[in-house]
């Protein structure tokens, strides 16, 4: 058996010590009628053959296109040191720090992750990690219900469609109402969350809302009126939840600064490879006042018997292994290694490197906007954005397909990704980051010019 240490003599020695003739005797407790026959699977594959097989499968993917696809998963530059640190077996082959005396490395790294994220988010309590941005968002919404003892949550339609779906899945189980806040239809704020509609949804005294969820930047890349939304939520006795993209927080105001009680988000952008969907890093943070409501692990600083600084998992009375059916969540295994990856990436870049990443992405995005506008695909919304925006393209699915044939991954076809949002039916969602090259942008614009030819829509900002 691959990776197994036992020689036939070892096995014989163990069987003899136990006092059985064959290993089959150790399975005599399985009722005969329920015993399985041999597994009908391929024979074992030596590492050399496996390497060939996996190399072949990887080669069937096209992961090196000129890509403008973001929509919740972003490419960023990761310095070489990050992965070299992650490949240390002391990190990735350890488990949950149940014995803190021999897990101080993991524990301190989680404490530092909590601290780094607290700096970015402007919130004091950061959970050790959740599965991804979508599940962290669902947990944030559940937190608002526990904290307010209300059972109705308002969620902006400018939040990632997958996140909204996950919230619906989770809430169906919990029996909580989830209602969507529509988008502003036109004008300077087109595409952002409609605050007047939010105010109306909050003004239902019979059905008080527990929480109000908005994303910053929104799924459409736009900057949202976060401070206003938080003020409206608080005036109605609800909690304010900000769904954030953490890299942007090098530049954008942190949730704590605009009154958010809880922040949730996807940490993949913190230097973690896209990997076709995961493993990613669910960020969940809150104010001190909500610390007993936050699900998942927390690590705190303490001392050992000799008074030395040390770290330990704490406030575990919230968790499933203590509270069982009364726990804040069922989460157990989380994403510690991804929190470590994010921490190392942040430590390597530092505050100025991170700010440069964001500023360079914004500069590239502005170049992209100019090039696409010239090629006949103007922006769909007029408001400010950081590095992602929607453009108007007639027959977007076909254009997207034909661009792909020319080696350009032209972002996301919004009509397919959000079929229930007619205002973006003719939209492509595109993004640029610091790794987007001028050559990629030129290739996109040139190919787009070829594909849409003379059928470009009139370049009017804001009409939706």
Partner 1 sequence: MSASGPRLQPTIFERSKPGRGGGLVPHPPSDALDRIPTEQRRERPAGLPELNEAEVVRHYVNLSQLNHAIDVGFYPLGSCTMKWNPKVNEWAARLPGFANLHPLAPDVTTQGTLQLLWELEQILLEVTGMRAVTLQPAAGAHGELTGILMIRAYHEARGDTARTEVLVPDSAHGTNPATATMAGLHTVSLPHEDDGGVAVEAFRRALGPQTAAIMITNPSTLGIFESRIGELLEAVHEAGALAYMDGANLNAILGRFRPGDAGFDVMHINTHKTFSTPHGGGGPGAGPVAVNERLEPYLPAPRILRDPDGAFRLERPGERPTSIGRMRAFVGSTGVLLRAYAYLRTHGGSGLAEVTDDAVLAANYLKHRLAESGAFDIPFEGVCKHEFIASASSIKKRTGIRTLDIAKRLLDHGFHAPTVYFPLTVDEAMLIEPTETESVETLDAFADALVAIAEEADRDPDVIRSAPHTAPVRRLDEAAAARNPNLRWRPAAGDWTPCPD
Classify the phi-psi angles of 22: left when phi > 0, otherwise alpha if psi is within -120 to 50, otherwise beta: beta
Q: How far is the CB of 375 from partner 1 (least distance, A)?
A: 21
Closest CA to 114 of 409, 342, 451, 433: 342
Cα–Cα distance measured from residue 450 to residue 410, given in angstroms and rounded to the nearest whole number: 14
CB of 378: closest distance to partner 1 in angstroms? 16
- Which one of residues 182, 199, 208, 327 is an interface residue with partner 1 (CB under 8 A)? 327
Q: Which residue's entry shows tokens 């150790």?
A: 26
Does residue 414 belong to the site contacting partner 1 (CB under 8 A)?
no
Could you say which of 315, 373, 457, 463 contacts partner 1 (CB under 8 A)? Answer: 315
- CB nearer to partner 1: give 34 or 458: 34
C-alpha span between 258 and 349 (Å, rounded):
26
Taking residue 247's Cβ as centre, other Cβ atoms within 10 Å add up to: 28
# residues contacting partner 1 (CB under 8 A)? 204
Question: In angstroms, what is the minimal distance from the CB of 336 to partner 1?
Answer: 4
Among 390, 399, 398, which residue's Cα sits nearest to residue 424?
Answer: 390
Among 8, 57, 149, 458, binds partner 1 (CB under 8 A): 57
According to DSSP, the β-strands at 282-286 and 125-126 are: antiparallel
- Residue 149, interface with partner 1 (CB under 8 A)? no
Find the helix or strand (DSSP H, E) in which 329 lies: none
Nearer to partner 1, 217 or 456 (CB): 217
| Minimum CB distance to partner 1 smaller for 31 or for 439 | 31
Contact map string, positions 73 to 102, toward partner 1, x by CB under 8 A: x-x-x-x-x-xxx-xxxxxxxxxxxxxxxx
By CB under 8 A, is residue 17 in contact with partner 1?
Answer: yes
Nearer to partner 1 among residue 417 and residue 463 (C-beta): 417
Helix (H, G, I), strand (E, B) or coil at 265: strand
For residue 22, the 8-state DSSP code is S
Site map 177..216 versus partner 1, x via CB under 8 A = ----------------------------------------
Q: 10 Å Cβ neighbour count for 443?
A: 18
Angstrom distance (rounded) from CA 225 to CA 385: 12
Q: Select 267 or 456, whichever has its Cβ closest to partner 1.
A: 267
Binding piece for partner 1, criterion CB under 8 A, among 196-204, 342-350, 372-380, 455-463: 342-350
CB of 182 to partner 1, least distance (A): 19
CA angle 251, 271, 213 (to 5 degrees): 55
Report the alpha-carbon distance of residue 314 to residue 297 in Å, rounded.
8
Question: Applying CB under 8 A, does 278 fall inside the site for partner 1?
Answer: yes
Query: Residue 438 interacts with partner 1 (CB under 8 A)?
Result: no
Q: Is 119 in the site for partner 1 (CB under 8 A)?
A: yes
* Under rule CB under 8 A, residue 109 binds partner 1: yes
- The correct pick among 211, 221, 254, 267 for binding partner 1 (CB under 8 A) is 254
Q: Check binding of 8 to partner 1 (CB under 8 A).
A: no
d(CA 106, CA 172): 36
Among 375, 412, 428, 448, binds partner 1 (CB under 8 A): 412
Query: What is the C-alpha separation between 137 and 141, in angstroms, rounded?
Result: 6
User: 15-31 as b/e, with b when 16 or more CB fall inside 10 Å?
Assistant: eeeeeeeeeeeeeeeee
At residue 403, what are phi and psi to the nearest 5 degrees? -70, -35
Can you tell me the distance from the alpha carbon of 280 to that of 257, in angstroms, rounded to the nearest whole number?
26
Closer to partner 1 by CB, 388 or 456: give it: 388
Q: Residue 62 or residue 455: which is nearer to partner 1 going by CB?
A: 62
> By CB under 8 A, is residue 116 in contact with partner 1?
yes
Considering only residues 350 through 389, tell me which ones interact with partner 1, judged by CB under 8 A: 350-360, 362-363, 366, 384, 386
Shortest distance, position 205 Cβ to partner 1, whole Å: 26
Mark residues 291-310: x for contact with partner 1 by CB under 8 A, - for none: x-----xxxxxxxxxx-xxx
């Amino acid at each position: 058996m691959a990776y197994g240490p036992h020689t036939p003599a070892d096995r014989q020695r163990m069987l003899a010590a136990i006092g059985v003739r064959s290993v089959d005797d150790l399975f005599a407790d399985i009722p005969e009628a329920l015993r399985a026959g041999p597994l009908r699977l391929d024979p074992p594959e030596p590492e050399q053959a496996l390497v060939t097989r996996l190399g072949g499968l990887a080669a069937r993917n096209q992961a090196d296109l000129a890509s403008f696809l973001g929509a919740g998963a972003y490419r960023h530059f990761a310095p070489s040191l990050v992965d070299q640190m992650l490949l240390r077996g002391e990190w990735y082959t350890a488990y949950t720090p149940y014995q803190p005396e021999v897990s101080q490395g993991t524990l301190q790294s989680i404490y530092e992750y909590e601290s780094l994220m607290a700096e970015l988010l402007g919130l004091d309590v950061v959970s050790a990690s959740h599965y991804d941005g979508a599940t962290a968002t669902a947990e944030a919404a559940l937190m608002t219900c526990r904290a307010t003892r209300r059972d109705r949550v308002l969620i902006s339609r400018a939040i990632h469609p997958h996140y909204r779906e996950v919230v619906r899945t989770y809430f169906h189980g919990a029996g909580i109402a989830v209602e969507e806040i529509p988008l502003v239809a036109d004008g300077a704020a087109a595409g952002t969350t409609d605050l007047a509609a939010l105010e109306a949804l909050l003004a239902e005294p019979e059905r008080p809302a527990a929480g109000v969820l908005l994303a910053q930047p929104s799924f459409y890349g736009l900057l949202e009126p976060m401070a206003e939304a938080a003020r409206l939520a608080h005036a109605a006795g609800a909690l304010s939840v900000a769904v954030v993209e953490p890299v942007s927080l090098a530049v954008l105001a942190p949730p704590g600064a605009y009154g958010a009680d809880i922040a949730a988000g996807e940490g993949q952008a913190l230097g973690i490879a896209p990997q076709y969907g995961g493993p990613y890093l669910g960020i969940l943070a809150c104010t001190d006042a909500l610390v007993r409501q936050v699900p998942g692990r927390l690590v705190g600083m303490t001392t050992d018997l000799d008074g030395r600084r040390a770290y330990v998992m704490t406030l575990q009375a919230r968790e499933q292994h203590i509270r069982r059916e009364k726990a804040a969540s069922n989460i157990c295994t989380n994403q510690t290694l991804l929190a470590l990856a994010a921490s190392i990436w942040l430590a390597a870049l530092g505050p100025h490197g991170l700010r440069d990443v964001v500023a360079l992405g914004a500069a590239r995005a502005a170049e992209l906007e100019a090039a696409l506008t010239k090629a006949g695909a103007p922006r769909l919304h007029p408001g400010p954005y950081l590095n992602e925006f929607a453009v108007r393209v007639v027959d977007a699915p076909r254009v997207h397909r034909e661009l792909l044939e020319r080696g350009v991954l032209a972002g996301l076809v919004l009509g397919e990704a959000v079929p229930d949002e007619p205002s973006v039916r003719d939209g492509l969602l595109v993004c640029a980051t610091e790794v987007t090259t001028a050559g990629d942008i030129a290739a996109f614009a040139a190919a787009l010019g070829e594909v849409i030819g003379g059928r470009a829509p009139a370049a009017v900002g804001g009409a939706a």
